[in-house]
A and B are shown apart, each in its own frame.
Chain A
Amino acid sequence: MIIKTENNKAWWLVLPVFLLVAFSAVIPLMTVVNYSVQDIFDQNNAYFVGADWYREVLRDPRLHDSLLRQFIYSFSVLAIEIPLGIGVALMMPTKGRMGSLCLILLAIPLLIPWNVVGTIWQIFGRADIGLFGWALNALGIDYNYASNTGDAWATVLLMDVWHWTSLVALLCYSGLRAIPEAFYQAAEIDRASKWAVFRYIQLPRLKSVLVIGILLRFMDSFMIYTEPFVLTGGGPGNSTTFLSQTLTKMAIGQFDLGPAAAFSLIYFLIVLLVSWLFFTTITYMDKAK
């Protein structure tokens, strides 16, 4: 029996990506690790401090609070945007001009830069000159995102939902369009209910796009900075100060490079773990089938 050996030459094609990732991610990461174990005053004055910055960061209650807020925020975003995105995709027209119009309308929020989204909502939510804030107050709801924690959270979440649900909806829409018509015909012959069609045909077929949607939305919301920074500036108090804002204050505001580097690495490990858990769980569920 002749065993054909695999040709591994195609791996050379990966080399440019490898070099690019090394240049843009691996080398900066190595630098951050070096910073995290030193007390750096300037380029010529750096003192090795071992794990001291990690100790300080891991025991800092401000960071515990912003980590908790970050998890609540990211999971709230997922809990709202994923079902809403699926719902919007299911309700969208499949053919004709209306279908194209819906796609364009959905894509518009995705094209707006983060700082502009923050500014739009900052004005939109104001009670004196913003339509949203003014309308809520006119309805008798005492709404002020600048002084009330609950209002600030609701506005930050609503802003994210407004900005990013479209992404989930567009991903789901493309997933739904990829389902062959024969599946729906078979369901019709079986007189399957709408729920049964969704549960046993559409949802399983959406799994791969949902993995991408969940991962993208989790990672993006976990690293959110610009929008809440522009909208609330992290307030009232520290109530909407998320991890990246705390990190930026530490690194740029206070110029504490060592603790900021240690904190970045902890942040990176959290993102890595949660993303890996999501990815493994969903791919393993696929394999178990």
Chain B
Amino acid sequence: MISWMAWTLPVAIFFSTIGIILVCMTAYELYSPCVERKGFLPISTTRGDRLFIGLLASAYFHLTYVGLTDMSLWLPLGISVIWLAIVLRWG
């Protein structure tokens, strides 16, 4: 049934990770509802906003890296994970 989706392992891991993040964020939101606040980002944000900004910025960082270099993607992936954690905590 899903063969037409031409699944590959890295893409499956990518979407599973996004799914797990969303499930965890929902559970955390139910456990402790977030309040909009202002961190180092120029606008006040909710937890969901910060996740969106973190993921979008990571996508652009990856595109820039791929566009400019031929090196492995592990480096931008690592930087993106650190960046996401920083935005979620202090953004």
List A residues at the B interface (Cβ < 8 Å): 8, 27, 30-31, 33-35, 37-38, 40, 43, 46, 48, 50-51, 54-55, 58-59, 266, 269, 272-273, 276, 280, 284, 287
Kindly list chain A residues whose C-beta atoms are within 8 Å of the C-beta of B59.
269
12 pairs, CB–CB < 8 Å, chain A vs chain B: A8-B30, A33-B14, A35-B6, A38-B8, A48-B8, A48-B10, A54-B66, A269-B59, A269-B63, A272-B56, A276-B52, A284-B43
Count A/B pairs, Cβ under 8 Å.
Answer: 54
User: Given A43-B3, A58-B63, A59-B67: A30 and B11 within 8 A (CB)?
Assistant: yes
A40→B7 CA distance, assembly (Å): 12
Interface of A is mostly: helix
List B residues at the A interface (Cβ < 8 Å): 3-8, 10-11, 14-15, 30, 43-44, 52, 56, 59-60, 63, 66-67, 70, 73
A35: nearest chain-B partner, CB-CB: B6
- Minimum CB–CB distance from A281 to chain B (whole Å) comes to 9
In order of increasing CB-CB distance, the 4 nearest A-B pairs are A58-B67, A34-B6, A31-B5, A54-B66
A105→B59 CA distance, assembly (Å): 44
Most buried by A among B3, B11, B43: B11
A58→B30 CA distance, assembly (Å): 41
B56 interface neighbour in A40, A59, A276, A287, Cβ under 8 Å:
A276
User: Given A37-B11, A276-B56: A266 and B63 within 8 A (CB)?
Assistant: yes
- Minimum CB–CB distance from B4 to chain A (whole Å) comes to 7
A269→B66 CA distance, assembly (Å): 15
B43: nearest chain-A partner, CB-CB: A284
Is the CB–CB distance between A34 and B66 below 8 Å? Answer: no
Kindly list chain A residues whose C-beta atoms are within 8 Å of the C-beta of B15.
30, 33
- Minimum CB–CB distance from B9 to chain A (whole Å) comes to 9
Kindly list chain B residues whose C-beta atoms are within 8 Å of the C-beta of A46.
6
B60 interface neighbour in A8, A34, A273, Cβ under 8 Å:
A273
A191→B42 CA distance, assembly (Å): 39
A272: nearest chain-B partner, CB-CB: B56
A288→B44 CA distance, assembly (Å): 10
User: Given A30-B15, A33-B14: A280 and B43 within 8 A (CB)?
Assistant: yes
B11 interface neighbour in A8, A33, A59, Cβ under 8 Å:
A33
Is the CB–CB distance between B11 and A273 below 8 Å? Answer: no
Kindly list chain B residues whose C-beta atoms are within 8 Å of the C-beta of A51.
66, 73
Kindly list chain A residues whose C-beta atoms are within 8 Å of the C-beta of B56.
269, 272-273, 276
- Minimum CB–CB distance from A71 to chain B (whole Å) comes to 16
A96→B56 CA distance, assembly (Å): 49
- Minimum CB–CB distance from B77 to chain A (whole Å) comes to 11
User: Given A54-B66, A266-B63, A273-B56: A34 and B43 within 8 A (CB)?
Assistant: no
User: Given A269-B60, A276-B56: A38 and B6 within 8 A (CB)?
Assistant: yes
- Minimum CB–CB distance from B66 to chain A (whole Å) comes to 5
A261: nearest chain-B partner, CB-CB: B6
- Minimum CB–CB distance from B72 to chain A (whole Å) comes to 9
Kindly list chain B residues whose C-beta atoms are within 8 Å of the C-beta of A284.
43
Kindly list chain B residues whose C-beta atoms are within 8 Å of the C-beta of A40.
6
Kindly list chain A residues whose C-beta atoms are within 8 Å of the C-beta of B52.
276
A245→B44 CA distance, assembly (Å): 39
Is the CB–CB distance between B67 and A55 below 8 Å? Answer: yes
A30→B11 CA distance, assembly (Å): 8
